[in-house]
Amino acid sequence: MPDNEQIRTHVADSYAKAVTRGTGCCCGDDATTRGVAAQWAGYSVGDTEGLPNDAVINSFGCGNPLAFSEVKEGQTVLDLGSGAGIDLLLAARKVGSSGQVIGIDMTDEMIAAANRNIAASGHRNVEVRKGLIEKLPVEDNSVDWVISNCVINLSPEKDRVFAEINRVLKPGGQMRVSDIVVDDLPDWVRTNEHLYNTCIAGAISEQDYLQGLRDAGLTDVRVAETLTYQPSQVKALFVSEVDGDCGCGCGCGSADAFDDPAVIDQAVQDLAGKVRSSIIVAKKG
Ligand X SMILES: C[S@@+](CC[C@H](N)C(=O)[O-])C[C@H]1O[C@@H](n2cnc3c(N)ncnc32)[C@H](O)[C@@H]1O
Going by C-alpha positions, the residue among 130, 78, 82 that lies closest to residue 108 is 130
Pattern of binders to ligand X over 62-91, x per CB under 6 A? -------------------xxx--xx----
What does the alpha-carbon distance between residue 125 and residue 111 come to, in Å, rounded to a whole number?
16
> Residues touching ligand X: how many (CB under 6 A)?
27
What does the alpha-carbon distance between residue 275 and residue 190 come to, in Å, rounded to a whole number?
13
Find the residue with minimal CB distance to ligand X: 83
How many helices (H) and strands (E) in the chain? Answer: 11, 7
Residue by residue, DSSP assigns 217-240 as: T-EEEEEEEEEEPPHHHHHHHHHH
Least separation in angstroms between CB 171 and ligand X: 25
- The smaller minimum CB distance to ligand X, of residues 72 and 130, is found at 130
Other Cβ atoms within 10 Å of 259 Cβ, number: 12
Binding ligand X by CB under 6 A: which of 26, 66, 132, 181?
132
Least separation in angstroms between CB 167 and ligand X: 15
Binding ligand X by CB under 6 A: which of 23, 48, 76, 149?
149
Binding ligand X by CB under 6 A: which of 91, 165, 195, 250?
250
11 binds ligand X (CB under 6 A): yes
CA distances from 79 to 161, 165, 185, 233 (A): 12, 11, 27, 26
Binding ligand X by CB under 6 A: which of 8, 10, 176, 274?
8
- The smaller minimum CB distance to ligand X, of residues 12 and 91, is found at 12
Pattern of binders to ligand X over 189-228, x per CB under 6 A? ----------------------------------------
- The smaller minimum CB distance to ligand X, of residues 41 and 271, is found at 41
What does the alpha-carbon distance between residue 14 and residue 203 come to, in Å, rounded to a whole number?
17
Residue by residue, DSSP assigns 160-191 as: HHHHHHHHHEEEEEEEEEEEEEESS--HHHHT
Positions in the binding site for ligand X (CB under 6 A): 8, 11-12, 15, 59-61, 81-83, 86-87, 104-107, 110, 132-134, 149-151, 154-155, 250-251
